[in-house]
Amino acid sequence: MKAGWAMRAWGRLGIAVSLLLLMGCSPDYNWRQVAVADGRVMALFPAKPATEQRDLPFEGGQQPFIMTQAQVNENLFVVGYAPWGQGGLSSTAERERFGHEVLLSLYRNLGVAAPETLPLPGERFTLRGGAEETLQVVGHIWLTPHGLLEGLVLAPDELSSEHMSVFFEALEKGVGGVLP
């Protein structure tokens, strides 16, 4: 009886290890599940994340913005969250303007001219900027019932699509649980 249990456990462990290898994990990427957005969304980070909070100026006030980020080599994986209730953004129009401003700030910070039509909330976007346009930023911004959620991957070169997929697929799945 005990031998059968041990065989099943080793078999499951072998399957789990195989799945991790198929996900494109490398020794540098140690994926872990982390609650973000006041515990409303589960995200996968490739290393132990750190969290910090700052206030973003918006229409004469301050909007709290919580960033959880993890870095592997020169690649940065970020989830930002701005809860609606703490910043006083109660109307849909205010929330949409705030989302628009957050997206515009990414273009400004990279020194890139924003396109005439910005990506809509939930659409994946890619920017190249920085010195000699060597920084690649891939992101999503969602306007959820509880706050703005932003997922970003910043890399000095092309980042493995497998690593981006692991990060964004987990985040999209988590966000799907809080969208109406």
User: What digits encode the pLDDT tens for the residues 98-111?
Assistant: 999 999 999 998 88
Q: Are 40 and 116 contained in the same domain?
A: yes
* 4-8: long-range contacts, CB 8 A cutoff, minimum separation 24: none
Buried-exposed string 147-159: b where 16+ CB fall within 10 A, e elsewhere: bbbbbbbbbeeeb
Is 5 in a helix, a strand, or coil? helix
Q: Are 18 and 86 contained in the same domain?
A: no
- Structure confidence at residue 78 as a pLDDT band (50, 70, 90): very high
Q: Which of 66, 138, 58 is nearest to 95 (CA)?
A: 58
Per the model's pLDDT, the better-predicted residue between 17 and 80 turns out to be 80
Is 148 in a helix, a strand, or coil? strand
> Is it the case that residue 12 has pLDDT exceeding 60?
no
Q: Which of 78, 80, 127 is nearest to 99 (CA)?
A: 80
Q: Are 9 and 89 contained in the same domain?
A: no
Q: Are 21 and 105 contained in the same domain?
A: no
The pLDDT of residue 178 is 67
Phi and psi of 49, rounded to 5°? Answer: -85, 160
Q: Which domain holds residue 87?
A: 31-176
Measure the CA dihedral 56/147/139/127, to 10°. Answer: -40
For the chain, how many structural domains are there in total? 2
> Is it the case that residue 2 has pLDDT exceeding 80?
no
Q: Are 1 and 72 contained in the same domain?
A: no
Q: Are 22 and 35 contained in the same domain?
A: no
Q: Are 136 and 151 contained in the same domain?
A: yes
> Is it the case that residue 75 has pLDDT exceeding 60?
yes
Q: Are 97 and 17 contained in the same domain?
A: no
- Residue 137 token pair: 């930023």
Cα–Cα distance, 113 to 140 (Å, whole number): 18
Q: Are 56 and 104 contained in the same domain?
A: yes
Q: Are 62 and 100 contained in the same domain?
A: yes
Q: Are 92 and 9 contained in the same domain?
A: no
Whether the CB-CB separation of 170 and 42 falls below 8 Å is answered with yes
Q: Are 53 and 137 contained in the same domain?
A: yes
